[in-house]
């Protein structure tokens, strides 16, 4: 159906005075257009990516004064722990915690989901956005999980774009080159009994948060010692520092796989020399005792 049909029908439920009955009617109407359950993913992917980003993001920008519009075609879901195993349609069927309120709001103001100039300062909604490996911007709800579930569902039954305005979006810039390089290097280092030890620090300046790698070390898993490859070099200009340090980290990682065998060879040679010296000293003592 198109948005005009959907909005017109939902508005006919506006005058139902009983809140419970109104919610029931709206829910029933929406589910008459229910599509294949397999068309909906649970919130697991969104939750997993949200956790990943929280651990690995490079920069997060936000501007509380600027509100944006979001299109539900590229929304993965929400990150609320209560709904990780549920899909949008399951949240509607099961009437997740605040879903009845969303049913009632649909009856009174269905235009909300079609980019109407609606401002709801008392009930904010926010998303985390990131560019995936295919270059497409994706969104994960960090606040407003129920409206997100409804938006995804409405997009599945409506031909027109479902989108809302007055949304706060936290934009995340993921350095995939660095992340991939860390994984690849760790894989190679494990053969020699090493792993990368990464120490991060959280920094804040006006308008941005930064999760920085301040120390990158080689950790000998068996022997337990660390050898620093990289220590954060701070400059007056934080942005310049980040760019320069990322380049340095990538440079170190590119050379790490070649460095480890050489270091291991030197270590073995030193141990052989120490053992040989120790044996000579023991023989010397034994001869003197005679």
User: How do beta strands 163-173 and 126-131 pair?
Assistant: parallel
Predicted pLDDT of residue 35: 67
* The token pair that represents 266 in the structure block: 């030197």
Cβ burial 33-44 (10 Å sphere, 16+ → b, else e): eeeeeeebebbe
* The token pair that represents 181 in the structure block: 């390089």
Q: At a CB cut-off of 8 Å and minimum separation 6, what does 259 contact?
A: none
**For the chain, how long is the longest CA-to-CA vector?**
111
- DSSP class of residue 203 equals E
Which of 9, 14, 129 minimizes the C-alpha distance to 71? Answer: 129
List the pLDDT tens digit at each of the 290 positions of the chain.
888 899 899 999 999 888 889 999 999 998 888 766 656 778 888 887 777 776 655 555 555 545 788 889 889 888 888 888 888 888 888 887 788 888 988 898 888 888 776 555 567 788 888 888 888 888 989 888 899 999 999 988 888 888 888 888 887 777 777 778 888 887 777 777 778 777 776 666 555 556 667 777 778 887 777 777 766 656 556 666 667 777 777 877 777 656 666 656 665 666 677 676 677 666 766 676 65
Contact by Cβ (8 Å): 120, 166: yes
What is the C-alpha separation between 199 and 216, in angstroms, rounded? 6
Contact by Cβ (8 Å): 102, 40: no
Which of 246, 253, 247 minimizes the C-alpha distance to 197? Answer: 253
- pTM of model > 0.85: no
| Structural domain boundaries in the chain | 3-173, 176-289
145-157 and 99-108 are packed helices; what angle lies between their axes, rounded to 10 degrees?
60
């Amino acid at each position: 159906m198109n948005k005009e049909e959907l909005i017109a029908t939902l508005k006919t439920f506006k005058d139902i005075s009983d809140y419970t009955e109104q919610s029931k009617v709206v829910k029933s109407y929406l589910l008459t257009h229910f599509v294949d359950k397999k068309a909906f993913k649970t919130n697991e992917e969104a939750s997993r990516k949200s956790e990943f980003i929280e651990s690995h993001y490079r920069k997060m920008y936000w501007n509380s004064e600027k509100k944006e519009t979001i299109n539900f075609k590229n929304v993965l879901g929400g990150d609320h722990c209560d709904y990780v195993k549920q899909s949008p349609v399951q949240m509607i069927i099961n009437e997740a915690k605040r879903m009845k309120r969303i049913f009632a709001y649909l009856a009174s103001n269905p235009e909300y989901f079609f980019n109407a100039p609606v401002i709801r300062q008392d009930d904010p909604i926010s998303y985390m956005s990131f560019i995936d490996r295919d270059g497409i911007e994706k969104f994960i709800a960090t606040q407003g999980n129920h409206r997100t579930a409804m938006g995804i569902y409405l997009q599945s039954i409506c031909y027109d774009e479902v989108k809302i305005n007055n949304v706060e979006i936290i934009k995340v810039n993921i350095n995939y080159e660095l992340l991939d390089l860390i994984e690849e290097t760790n894989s190679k280092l494990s053969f020699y009994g090493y792993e990368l030890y990464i120490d991060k620090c959280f920094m804040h300046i006006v308008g941005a948060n930064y999760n920085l790698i301040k120390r990158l070390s080689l950790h000998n898993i068996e022997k337990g010692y660390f050898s620093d490859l990289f220590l954060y070099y701070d400059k007056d200009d934080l942005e310049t520092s980040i760019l320069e340090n990322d380049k340095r980290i990538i440079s170190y990682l590119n050379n790490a796989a070649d460095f480890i065998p050489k270091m291991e060879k030197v270590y073995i040679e030193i141990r052989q020399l120490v053992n040989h010296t120790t044996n000579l000293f023991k023989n010397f003592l034994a001869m003197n005792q005679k």
